Chains A and B, each alone.
Chain A
Amino acid sequence: NAGVTQTPKFRVLKTGQSMTLLCAQDMNHEYMYWYRQDPGMGLRLIHYSVGEGTTAKGEVPDGYNVSRLKKQNFLLGLESAAPSQTSVYFCASSEQGVSTEAFFGQGTRLTVV
């Protein structure tokens, strides 16, 4: 039982490049989330999904897009990377929304130069 798996673990991008972060969960959870973690700012919600085929904006959605074509996968895309998007990105999933335990992946460290 792998839980939540993020791919890749590290990535360096040049300004203007695009990339997709993949999150996969094997717990059959309905809810999935993408957070970014910056020093001194905790975790901030980028986008989330309440089920297959649905997505919604979180606190800091600008510059990111997401897709949930399959229940077990949640993709985070950066169309044109900017240095301000340098961060550690965490994916999480939960069974029944934000009032139940969220299981986090190990994180993706992204640097935009």
Chain B
Amino acid sequence: GENVEQHPSTLSVQEGDSAVIKCTYSDSASNYFPWYKQELGKGPQLIIDIRSNVGEKKDQRIAVTLNKTAKHFSLHITETQPEDSAVYFCAASGSSGSARQLTFGSGTQLTVLP
């Protein structure tokens, strides 16, 4: 099955700096890669996703890049703000079909220092 590794497990940045979280996956058939943000005491919430036919996607201060050859994808947050502090999870999935499962990374605790 799919194996997703996520690094780093903790990340502290100064407000205004950039943050980068990296993930690798094992199943070459995976073609959907979402990123979820989980605030304390809440469920995860989708912040951005990318499909295998695209190399990069951007939404305001958040961007995701995908390298299918190397089987890795990354989350980039620019101009970080205190409200960006949360746990971030990457995930990978196979082709869109009912039998595929979404496999999550172990999470990154991001702390933005004021």
Which residues of A come within 8 Å of B, CB atoms? 4, 31, 33, 40-45, 48, 50, 56, 58-59, 90, 92, 96-102, 104-107
- The secondary-structure label for the interface of chain B is loop
| Interface membership of chain B positions 20-48, coded 1 if the CB is closer than 8 angstroms to chain A and 0 otherwise | 00000000000110101000011111100
Q: Are B43 and A104 in contact (CB under 8 A)?
A: yes
Mark the stretch among B66-74, B75-83, B88-96 that contacts chain A: B88-96
Question: How big is the B interface, by class?
Answer: 20 to 34
The verdict on A99 contacting B31 (CB below 8 Å), with A59-B1, A90-B44, A104-B43 known, is yes
- The secondary-structure label for the interface of chain A is loop
Q: B102: CB under 8 A from chain A?
A: yes
Q: Are A98 and B96 in contact (CB under 8 A)?
A: yes
Q: Are B100 and A97 in contact (CB under 8 A)?
A: yes
Q: Are B42 and A107 in contact (CB under 8 A)?
A: yes
The verdict on A97 contacting B43 (CB below 8 Å), with A41-B106, A45-B102, A48-B101 known, is no
| CB neighbours of B6 from chain A (8 A) | 42
